[in-house]
Structure 1
Amino acid sequence: MAVKRGLKAAWHKLSRNEAAPGLVLMACAAIALILANSPLAQTWHGLFNDPLGWTPVPKLYSAHLWINDGLMAVFFFVVGLEIKREILDGELSNARRRRLPVIAAMAGMAVPALIYLAITNGDPALHAGWAIPSATDIAFAIGVLALAGKGLPPSLRLFLLTVAIVDDLGAVMVIAFFYTTGLKLAWLGISAVILVALVIVNRMGVRALAPYILGAIALWYAVLHSGIHATIAGVLAALTVPLALNRQHDSPLLRLEHALVAPNGFLIVPLFGLANAGVHLGLPEGGSLALPLGIGLGLLLGKQVGILGSIVLAERFGIAHRPDGATMRQLWGISLLCGIGFTMSLFIAGLAFPTSPILIEEAKLGILGGSLIAAIAGMILLKGSQAKQN
């Protein structure tokens, strides 16, 4: 009994540590990299990509597909819940407070894409990857920020979180509009009916979780077969979950978000890292430097130029003010942390080059290289800013 209480207390402490999910993700990425470059590489690859003996959904015939199209729908469901909460009752609900993060996030998506397209301009086959360096990994970035120390202004963390959430919203829209092919109208119609039913359930004032969970699963299954990427179903379903607070300051959205944050951070995202981060270090045979260079520089330089540049310009022209108590050096460090594109960038890479394992491997090299350098440089800048203040 004492052991059970101790384990429960340890889990409670771990789940409340905001750096922990990022550290677990880093560990899983390191394990995947080590195994992918070891004699066990073929076995490791087969574990995720070989056909399963049985699957309840024939379309998902491997562990890799179940993780990327199944479990990641839960990840996007949590993203959708966070977006809705922030828009209705968070930083994005106030026009003055959301102005700078929205501007910074938009510039932080546009500039990396432009850098990528400039570097890969000579090869039209690579143009589909333009959105890969535009993403920010919330868990990874928050984990590195927490490692940077506790002497930073609280406004920096809030700014990073808000930028990353707007970034996630942008990534969802990019996936929906630019990485959707071969639509199947019948399944699309079924998806629309389920989504409308979920909206009606919301409008009827239903506060029980079961209808929304069952509806989300049904919507995921229909969207999976519609030609739109299945993870979009997670976001759409989340937007139908009510946020309205009762007298106990509780709501279905808050209950679901609270229940899913830990499994999302400690199981789903780490599994995604294990399944997708394993890349052989070195260019694949017949590969070129253009793709990894475009992605790496997009993440490392594009995020800095886009986010820090937009902050400077917004402040100079009186459009918005920098976060309270933040120095320009600290904001530079935050813009570097936004260059950690790991989870979402790996996800988009798989959508951009679905039929080319070589291009996906090259993309992984750029993502891992750019994200790692951005994380280290950002942490050095942020730690240095504290030492300077002290």
Structure 2
Amino acid sequence: MKATKLFNAFFESEKSGGVILLVATALSLYFSNITGGEHFVAFWNQDLGSHTMAEWINDGLMAIFFLLIGLELEREIFIGELSDLKTASLPIFGALGGMLIPAGIFLLLNFGTPTQAGAGIPMATDIAFAVGILSLLGKRVPASLKVFLTALAVIDDLGAILVIAIFYTDNLSLLNLGIALGIWAILFVMGKYFKVRNLIPYLVGGVAMWYFMLHSGVHATIAGVLLAFAIPFGDGGEKSTSYLLQHFLHKPVAFVILPLFALANTCIPVESGWQQNLLHVSSVGIILGLVVGKPVGIWLFSYLSSKSGICKLPNGVKWKHIFATGFLGGIGFTMSIFITLLAYDDIHIIDDSKMAILVASLIAGLIGFLSLKMTLRKLKH
């Protein structure tokens, strides 16, 4: 599998973006727990017009993040690693297992309880952190494994988007949803049949679509994904509208939007006895789902699909590498926290879930890094 130029640019931006995300998280936790930390927490919760600052980030700026995810997914489907079914099948099945098994583990512990709505939390993978940790291993990582993890994470994000759209939508307004989809249809026709290449009408239409989606009951960030598939892809070359926008968005998303999301959503006051809260069934479900369910689900579904002849293992990659990489899939962070905010209203459950996500992501990341460092040792030279 050959890594494309844009894939390499994406990998590099996510690599450095993962470091920035880690720093932002550490700063947020630090400032939330020093003397006067309540002012830092209050800063993100202050009203800014009709929404709080955190809500503008989560509902507004994160729509741009989802726009980038949509553009990357579109590229992978048309000309990338997902364009060939045989090649795409392994990360597709891996992502499917990496969603179903963690959700199953969570539901096994939480079904019928007030926290069962959190089943989507351990299903997610954070691309920036996962790719960032993989990149720390340097040249010993084969390109095919980089592509597998990136494709897996992108498909995982698509799964998370579908989960948000289907299971975390309340008080549906068919009128606003209809207007939003109508705007999308107009934009799609403009690009597909009238060959409009200028970005301005798409961006203006995208903002309007976001507004009506926000008031429809469907989470507003879905507008970002829909907009991505309306923007003209053409031949996918460097002069295509889709390529230009995707290339432009890499750095703002990696270095501004995701760090802001981390700052606003990981400002968790760590109170005495927080360790005991990790023993709550919802926290245990999140931790086991991410640390155990993710690697087991990714490996198991990948292995079974390969043995059935549907797909094949990439060159230079062994099953132990897939299992070790599965732990990196257990770094939920951004998407897991995002789904937490949609799943729960109780601030205590939200904070406990965030802490469980941080602990689980740290454990999964460390195990994944150390496992790959050992199993890939012979591939160093």
* TM-score of the aligned structures, taking structure 2 as reference length: 0.92
Matches within 5 A, 1:236-275: 236-245=226-235, 249-275=238-264
Asked if 1:182 corresponds to 2:162, the answer is: no
Asked if 1:65 corresponds to 2:55, the answer is: yes
Identify the residue that residue 45 of structure 1 maps to in structure 2: 41
Kindly indicate whether the alpha-carbon contact (under 8 Å) linking 2:140 and 2:377 is maintained by their aligned counterparts in 1. no
Kindly indicate whether the alpha-carbon contact (under 8 Å) linking 1:112 and 1:134 is maintained by their aligned counterparts in 2. yes
Q: Measure, in 1, the Cα distance between the counterparts of 2:69 and 2:228.
A: 8
Q: Measure, in 1, the Cα distance between the counterparts of 2:10 and 2:129.
A: 16
Shift of 1:286: 10
Kindly indicate whether the alpha-carbon contact (under 8 Å) linking 1:284 and 1:358 is maintained by their aligned counterparts in 2. no
Q: Measure, in 2, the Cα distance between the counterparts of 1:318 and 1:71.
A: 42
Secondary structure in structure 2 of the residue aligned to 1:131: helix
Kindly indicate whether the alpha-carbon contact (under 8 Å) linking 1:18 and 1:146 is maintained by their aligned counterparts in 2. no
Q: Measure, in 2, the Cα distance between the counterparts of 1:317 and 1:237.
A: 37
Asked if 1:327 corresponds to 2:300, the answer is: no
Q: Measure, in 1, the Cα distance between the counterparts of 2:207 and 2:99.
A: 31
Shift of 1:182: 0.5
Q: Measure, in 1, the Cα distance between the counterparts of 2:240 and 2:24.
A: 33
Q: 1:131 to 1:255 in 2, by over 3 A?
A: same
Report the AA paired with residue 129 of structure 2: F
Matches within 5 A, 1:118-197: 118-121=108-111, 124-197=113-186
Asked if 1:344 corresponds to 2:340, the answer is: no
Secondary structure in structure 2 of the residue aligned to 1:205: coil
Kindly indicate whether the alpha-carbon contact (under 8 Å) linking 2:14 and 2:127 is maintained by their aligned counterparts in 1. no
Shift of 1:164: 0.7
Asked if 1:22 corresponds to 2:18, the answer is: yes
Asked if 1:89 corresponds to 2:58, the answer is: no
Report the AA paired with residue 267 of structure 1: V
Return 5+ residue gaps in structure 2 as ranges. 1-8
Q: Measure, in 2, the Cα distance between the counterparts of 1:129 and 1:39.
A: 32
Q: 1:94 to 1:381 in 2, by over 3 A?
A: same
Report the AA paired with residue 81 of structure 1: L
Listed one character per residue, the Cα deviations across residues 50-80 of structure 1 (whole Å, up to 9, x for unaligned) are: 223xx3xx2xx21101100000010011111
Listed one character per residue, the Cα deviations across residues 189-247 of structure 1 (whole Å, up to 9, x for unaligned) are: 2212211211121121101111111111111111111111110111111110111138x
Report the AA paired with residue 113 of structure 1: A
**Which of 261, 275, 282 is the matching residue for 1:291?**
282
Kindly indicate whether the alpha-carbon contact (under 8 Å) linking 2:96 and 2:301 is maintained by their aligned counterparts in 1. no
Q: Measure, in 2, the Cα distance between the counterparts of 1:242 and 1:380.
A: 42
Listed one character per residue, the Cα deviations across residues 91-121 of structure 1 (whole Å, up to 9, x for unaligned) are: 1111111111111101110000001111223
Q: Measure, in 2, the Cα distance between the counterparts of 1:182 and 1:192.
A: 17
Shift of 1:160: 0.3
Kindly indicate whether the alpha-carbon contact (under 8 Å) linking 1:149 and 1:383 is maintained by their aligned counterparts in 2. no
Q: 1:43 to 1:15 in 2, by over 3 A?
A: farther
Kindly indicate whether the alpha-carbon contact (under 8 Å) linking 1:299 and 1:370 is maintained by their aligned counterparts in 2. yes
Aligned length: 369
Identify the residue that residue 31 of structure 1 maps to in structure 2: 27
Q: Measure, in 1, the Cα distance between the counterparts of 2:354 and 2:222.
A: 23
* TM-score of the aligned structures, taking structure 1 as reference length: 0.90
Report the AA paired with residue 349 of structure 2: L
Q: Measure, in 2, the Cα distance between the counterparts of 1:105 and 1:44.
A: 37
Q: Measure, in 2, the Cα distance between the counterparts of 1:304 and 1:16.
A: 24
Kindly indicate whether the alpha-carbon contact (under 8 Å) linking 1:284 and 1:361 is maintained by their aligned counterparts in 2. no
Q: Measure, in 2, the Cα distance between the counterparts of 1:181 and 1:168.
A: 21
Asked if 1:75 corresponds to 2:75, the answer is: no
Shift of 1:388: 4.7
Kindly indicate whether the alpha-carbon contact (under 8 Å) linking 2:180 and 2:213 is maintained by their aligned counterparts in 1. yes
Q: Measure, in 2, the Cα distance between the counterparts of 1:171 and 1:16.
A: 23
Report the AA paired with residue 264 of structure 1: V
Report the AA paired with residue 25 of structure 1: L
Asked if 1:356 corresponds to 2:346, the answer is: yes
Q: Measure, in 1, the Cα distance between the counterparts of 2:12 and 2:285.
A: 37
Shift of 1:188: 1.8
Q: 1:186 to 1:317 in 2, by over 3 A?
A: closer
Identify the residue that residue 386 of structure 1 maps to in structure 2: 376
Shift of 1:328: 2.5
Root-mean-square deviation (Å): 2.0
Q: 1:68 to 1:84 in 2, by over 3 A?
A: same
Kindly indicate whether the alpha-carbon contact (under 8 Å) linking 2:86 and 2:312 is maintained by their aligned counterparts in 1. no
Report the AA paired with residue 304 of structure 2: L
Regions of 4+ moved over 6 Å: none
**Which of 195, 200, 208 is the matching residue for 1:205?**
195
Return 5+ residue gaps in structure 1 as ranges. 1-12
Identify the residue that residue 9 of structure 1 maps to in structure 2: none
Asked if 1:109 corresponds to 2:109, the answer is: no
